[in-house]
Amino acid sequence: MNNIFKNLAIWLVIGVVLMTVISKISGNPAAGARAVSYSDFIESVRAGRLKNVVIQDGSMTPEIVAETADGSKIHTTGTRLDNKLIDDLVRSNTQFDVKPREEQSWFLSALLNWFPMLLLIGVWIFFMRQMQGGGRGGAFSFGKSKARMLDESSNSITFADVAGCDEAKEDVSEFVDFLRDPSKFQKLGGRIPKGALMVGSPGTGKTLLAKAIAGEAKVPFFSISGSDFVEMFVGVGAARVRDMFENAKKHAPCIIFIDEIDAVGRQRGAGMGGGNDEREQTLNQLLVEMDGFEGTTGVIVIAASNRPDVLDPALMRPGRFDRQIVVPLPDIRGREQILRVHMRKVPIAPDVDAMVLARGTPGMSGADLANLVNEAALFAARSNKRLVDMDDFEKAKDKIFMGPERRSMVLTEDERRATAYHESGHAVVAKILPGTDPVHKVTIMPRGRALGLTWQLPERDAISLYKDQMLSTISILFGGRIAEDLFVHRISTGASNDFERATRMARDMVTRYGMSDKMGPMVYGENEGEVFLGRSVTTHKSVSETTMQEVDGEIRRIIDEQYALAQKILEDNRDKVEAMTAALMEWETIDADQINDIMDGRPPRPPKAVVTPPSSRQDNSPGAAPNAAAPA
């Protein structure tokens, strides 16, 4: 703000000076008059061609301005030695007046003479100051820190605004106690932790939790991203780290929050060619500032990253980041609390139950739940509702999990029927196999990049995967392709993603999880994809060719057995596949109640809102092959 006011004052002074000079020039009576010689002026006087003459006296060369008979103005410079000028004016009956001439002050005279040069010098100085960082944003201010400071007045977030991570809040609450009353711990020999690293999946609330720490402790909060340190010039990153810690020491006790620290804190010497030397200089400076020879007091560094595996070990040791705080995905109670926090900002109908929504959103992060509430509010606004009801939340949940509906997509009747058989194959296998997640919804409405979807919704949060569950999932993935082969007698490319996921899961069972009786509990995977993560430049082969052939044989055995199992289930339940396909062709989307009716041999109950298939979608244009979304 001070820089803004200073710049405004400079331009205001320049404007006043310009206005003064312009007014002086425009106030001159000779302005706009035609200059003539003194002899021509005398001739005009004697000929009587002048109506009015003004003589500005006051010096040896008076200024003379005259108005001619045709209305134009002329001016000339006279002399005091001409004593007959007045006689000539009287004889020609010309009206004249003598006025004292205003003498310019020495200041105004110097200003008029030197103003252009002073203006150029002032503009040059102004732009040089801007380039050198006069406003902390110039061309030479690269070494200045870009950390944004939030004080007590601009940060109103507290622990009440953070939900779904109670254990993480307990861990960071000690930082608040340290900042509020450090003597409470120092008298027992304890010291303030230097830093904490918050680790968790994207969207779990790491940045929000760091803001809540500063809001609760009521201390300054410096926020910066890891990518803000390094730019195109050498040494900029290290200079910005020094400047940031210098500013933080002036406002101690305070908190420095570095978001996405893996952008600058990756392991040194990583990647091809020895890594990025500029980034390593920045990391070295950060290590020194956090726990170097000088040390810091009252400055706590909190960093967030979802890739702790690539960080440098020197950054992770005690004395720098003393604690690692895991911010996990919320469980069912955490999701309920998060939903209640976001529902405060939306007018909610009485039928909305946060616990029901939390039970139906396993695996969602805090950001996902905030997006769910926002999407539900948008659906309600499109329908001109005054309150957001449960139906809006169901539509928002379908859109987030399955993608937006593509009602304008043109499909032929044969393609719709093939898609219906494909999805029915997934659903029937999922309902017959024990221990699988319940089928929540089946649709042949194109959503996202898929022509149809089978959505399985877990009853509870899944902590681990088990062998029988993984085998059943492989069978479910094959159900769509087998149904096409059995009922449509044509094989499409729509099951390519199903095969890819099934093959990957079978390979992980054999090579990573020890779920093969023949290969035993041993890891057969290779070190792949770590060239740029900081630990290896080449892959290390730990098994022989013969062993890898046996691994491939086990993967083939698992896939063949589950394929045969799914095929037998569909051959034994042809009537259920046909009934489910007919329901999908009629209504396009069926829910869990209708699926249960079909599996129990009853006619499916009609949906609450019947969606009539648009006839515009039924033409002879070619469409994409059916594609099923396998269970989550």
Binding-site sequence positions for Zn(2+): 422, 426, 498
Q: CB under 8 Å to 52, separation ≥6 — which residues?
A: 66, 67, 94, 95, 96, 97
Among residues 623, 628, 626, which one has the least CA distance to residue 412? 623
Separate counts of helices (H) and strands (E) for the chain: 20, 15
| CA angle in degrees (0–180, nearest 5) for 40-30-104 | 120
Report the relative pairing of strands 50-57 and 95-100 from DSSP bridges: parallel
Closest by CA to 253, choosing from 327, 182, 163, is 182
The two three-digit tokens of residue 173, written as one number: 């609450």
- Catalytic residue ranges: 423
In the DSSP assignment, the letter for residue 311 is: B
Q: What's the distance, Cα to Cα, between the start and end of the chain in Å?
A: 52
Residue 344 neighbours by CB distance under 10 Å: 9
Helices (H), 484-603: 496-511, 545-572, 574-587, 592-599
Annotated binding site: 200-207, 422, 426, 498
Burial of 544 by CB count in 10 Å (0-12 exposed, 13-18 middle, 19+ buried)? Answer: exposed
Tokens of 491: 């094989």
Three-state DSSP state, 291: helix
Phi/psi for 325 (5° steps) reads -105, 115
Known binding-site residues for ATP equal: 200-207
What are the beta bridge partners of residue 348? 388
Q: What's the one-letter identity of residue 253?
A: P
Residues 341 and 158 sit within 8 Å (Cβ to Cβ):
no
